[in-house]
Amino acid sequence: MHYYLQLFARTLVAMALIASSFSVVATASEVQTPAAEIAMWAQQSGVYRYRLGDFEITALSDGTVPLDVHVLLQGVNKKSIDGHLHHAFLNNPVEESVNAFVIDTGKRLVLVDTGAGDLFGPGAGGKLIANLRAAGYEPSQIDDVLLTHVHTDHSGGLIHNGKIVFSNAVIHVGKPDVDLFLNSANQDGVNGYPKEYFEQATACLTPYIKTAQLQPFSGPTQILPGIRSIPTSGHTPGHSFYRIESKGESITFIGDLVHVESMQFEKPKITIQFDVNQAEAAKQRIKQFSILSKSRGLVAGAHFPFPGIGHIGSNNDGAFRFIPVNYRNR
């Protein structure tokens, strides 16, 4: 039954792709979708496809988690936070999306980040694999995993019950993150940075070191044809963007450059407890906002509201804004 559902989901995705590639507009009477199938689609809202030049991007939701911004945000007082939240029609804790992205290059299937896996516990993240399958892919089909950095909500999905999930993938990650988080001397935590980060990173990456699947890179690197890494240290020392350019368009996967969209665009100096280097993280955010807003290319964020794809605009007064991508469904 389970296999049938997967096959069925894949067939629907394939049908949708065929329809879109031939610009076919099917009328409701031609399709006559039974109510039961509509219900199944309604449960698959964690998948969003986007074409960029020769590449196909699929945003996948790993779920959402509550973020206590009163505790976590730095460089801003509670009154100011509450003002921002009120303005954005949000409440503390803020529901935080955890997004991952599949890139189909035509030759390889590439996954950017892997969600939290089992590590945030039941009901918090861990939905990536179900959504990957709903999009028509098996974990064994992934050829490359690009980690923006090794924090748990990005590398946690690499393992399930301690075992490798992506059996055929090369795992690419900035070497400075491996050097920091897997260093045996740091496993009790360093400079007040909690030991869980080190333990979880070690648990997620070590199985892939044993199978020689882990391939750390240093500096700007051409990872695959059309996909390059851009080092953006601050949030973590090895934090990296991945940028695709194709047929005059671009998309940059910006990982954790932003955690709270409703605040950090307007006030980019606001940092979060998870930043390994607070000052560098704020500086890097302002620098990259400026570059990305001028480039007018797309960005994809790990924690923007799903599907997490859009543009960065500049307000020319030191503030920026996020404009979600215009929805397309044809």
- Which positions touch Zn ion (CB under 5 A)? 151, 153, 256
Pick the closer one to Zn ion by CB: 224 or 258.
258
Residue 118 burial (CB count, 10 A): 14
| In the complex, minimum distance from the CB of residue 289 to Zn ion, in angstroms, rounded to a whole number | 17
Cis, peptide link before residue 307, omega less than 30° from 0: yes
The three-state secondary structure class of 207 is: helix
| In the complex, minimum distance from the CB of residue 249 to Zn ion, in angstroms, rounded to a whole number | 26
SS3 for 273-311 is CCCCCHHHHHHHHHHHHHHHHHHCCEEEECCCCCCCEEE
Pick the closer one to Zn ion by CB: 217 or 274.
274
> Is 240 within 8 Å of 291 (Cβ atoms)?
no
Q: Which residue's CB atom is positioned nearest to Zn ion?
A: 151
Pick the closer one to Zn ion by CB: 194 or 225.
194
| In the complex, minimum distance from the CB of residue 283 to Zn ion, in angstroms, rounded to a whole number | 17
- Sequence-separated (6 or more) residues with CB below 8 Å from residue 71: 273
Whole-angstrom Cα distance, residue 171 to residue 210?
Answer: 12
Pick the closer one to Zn ion by CB: 177 or 266.
177
Whole-angstrom Cα distance, residue 258 to residue 69?
Answer: 13
DSSP-assigned beta bridge partners for residue 74: 271
| In the complex, minimum distance from the CB of residue 233 to Zn ion, in angstroms, rounded to a whole number | 12
- In 157-255, DSSP assigns E strands to 159-160, 163-164, 170-174, 214-217, 221-224, 227-231, 240-246, 249-255
Pick the closer one to Zn ion by CB: 46 or 255.
255
> Is 244 within 8 Å of 103 (Cβ atoms)?
yes
| In the complex, minimum distance from the CB of residue 153 to Zn ion, in angstroms, rounded to a whole number | 4
Pick the closer one to Zn ion by CB: 139 or 301.
301
